[in-house]
């Protein structure tokens, strides 16, 4: 059995507990939080609680640690875990700067431990089907893509914890909410050439942005549009990903990107189209993404391979966010190669 520990007993930690419980070959053995009241909610028979991460690591109860703390703490905790020779599963975003991401990857490589980053949307049934069509070449030459996150995170959401909405610990709508859809856009469209962005804090009383609009040019020559906001009234409206090509058009949408809205390809009959749409609608959520990532990490350790969503994959999504933020701050386009070259170790 691969033994898992969790550091940070907040809301997202519950998904990790459930995922570990559902994965064959994995078991939760320890949890850690500096708040004893929160900690005790996760302590059960067979799961030992710790107020200090170093104490948990020294107890040698775990092989992997899931890091579920505020984003600004990910670097320090990842390095601490890696230096204890434990594997790392880290929530998104893996870090808030490329320097921190590089240090995390370097620490894991130096200590010969594996890292997986939580980007669970890749495992949604509709997204998997979309990727299959791309791999088959069903779109032909791609013209452009569109990613949209039109969500509601009200003021009470930000007021419930002092780190929310800050640049140092949260990072804003791109870093904390849209990064999942940005990861999907990268996974589908490939490397980015250049980004031009506008950010604004329009409605929420927070330090970071609550609204962002970007135009992207990919190295393939295709274009992209990204819209992200947490200001939609009165609740989440839409998360979508659309791809438009010379022989195909597809949109995955809904309050979360789980359903096929549009599915048209050259040579595809109406019956085949409806069959795919209905098949996805029967089980739009599939196996939870956190469970897929925990299963993959468990297998990666047993079979000694690099996890599917590795630290380097997580860094690419982070670089996308940082490019958008930098463009918005400077009022100028940001070339991705220039951004990566300016951060030592950030190239592939």
Say what percent of the chain tops pLDDT 90: 97
Whether 347 shows a pLDDT value over 80: the answer reads no
Residue 283 tokens read as 């089980």
pLDDT value at residue 40: 96
**pTM of the predicted model as reported, rounded to 2 decimal places:** 0.95
Which part of the chain is CATH 3.40.50.720?
2-120+290-308
Fold of 2-120+290-308: Rossmann fold (3.40.50)
Whether 346 shows a pLDDT value over 50: the answer reads no
Whether 345 shows a pLDDT value over 90: the answer reads no
Fold of 122-286: Dihydrodipicolinate Reductase; domain 2 (3.30.360)
Can you name the residues that pair with 215 across neighbouring β-strands?
196, 225
Q: If you ran DSSP here, which 8-state letter would residue 97 be given?
A: S
CB under 8 Å to 325, separation ≥6 — which residues? 172, 174, 175, 197, 199, 209
pLDDT value at residue 166: 94
Query: pLDDT tier at 111 (50, 70, 90 boundaries)?
Result: very high
CB under 8 Å to 293, separation ≥6 — which residues? 19, 89, 116, 118, 119, 120, 123, 307, 308, 309
Q: Report the distance separating Cα 168 and Cα 176, nearest Å.
A: 12
Which part of the chain is CATH 3.30.360.10?
122-286
Residue 245 tokens read as 């090509």
């Amino acid at each position: 059995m691969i033994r898992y520990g969790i550091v940070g007993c907040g809301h997202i930690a519950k998904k990790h507990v459930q995922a570990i419980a559902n994965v064959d070959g994995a078991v939760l053995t320890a949890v850690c939080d500096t708040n004893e009241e929160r900690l005790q909610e996760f302590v059960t028979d067979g799961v030992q609680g710790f107020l200090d991460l170093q104490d948990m690591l020294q107890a040698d109860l775990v092989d992997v640690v899931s890091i579920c703390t505020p984003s600004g703490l990910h670097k320090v905790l990842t390095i601490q875990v890696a230096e204890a020779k434990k594997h790392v599963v880290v929530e998104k975003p893996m870090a808030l700067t490329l320097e921190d991401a590089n240090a995390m990857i370097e620490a894991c490589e130096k200590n010969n431990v594996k890292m997986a980053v939580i980007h669970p949307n890749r495992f949604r049934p509709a997204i998997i089907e979309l990727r299959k069509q791309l791999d088959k070449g069903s779109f032909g030459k791609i013209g452009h893509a569109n990613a949209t996150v039109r969500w509601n995170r009200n003021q009470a959401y930000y007021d419930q914890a002092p780190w929310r909405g800050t640049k140092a610990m949260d990072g804003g709508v791109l870093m904390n909410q849209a990064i999942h859809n940005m990861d999907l856009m990268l996974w589908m469209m490939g490397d980015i050439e250049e980004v031009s962005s506008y950010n604004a804090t329009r409605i929420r009383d927070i330090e970071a942005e609550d609204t962002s609009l970007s135009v992207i040019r990919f190295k393939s020559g295709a274009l992209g549009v990204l819209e992200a906001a947490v200001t939609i009234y009165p609740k989440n409206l839409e998360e979508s990903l659309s791809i438009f090509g010379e022989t195909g058009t597809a949109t995955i949408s809904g309050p979360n990107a789980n359903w096929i809205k549009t599915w048209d390809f050259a040579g595809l009959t109406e019956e085949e189209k409806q069959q795919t749409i209905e098949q996805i609608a029967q089980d739009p959520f599939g196996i939870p993404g956190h469970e897929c990532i925990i299963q993959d990490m468990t297998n990666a350790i047993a079979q000694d391979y690099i996890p599917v969503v590795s630290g380097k994959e997580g860094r690419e999504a982070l670089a996308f966010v940082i490019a958008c933020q930098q463009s918005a701050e400077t009022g100028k386009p940001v070339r991705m190669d220039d951004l990566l070259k300016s951060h030592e170790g950030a190239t592939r």
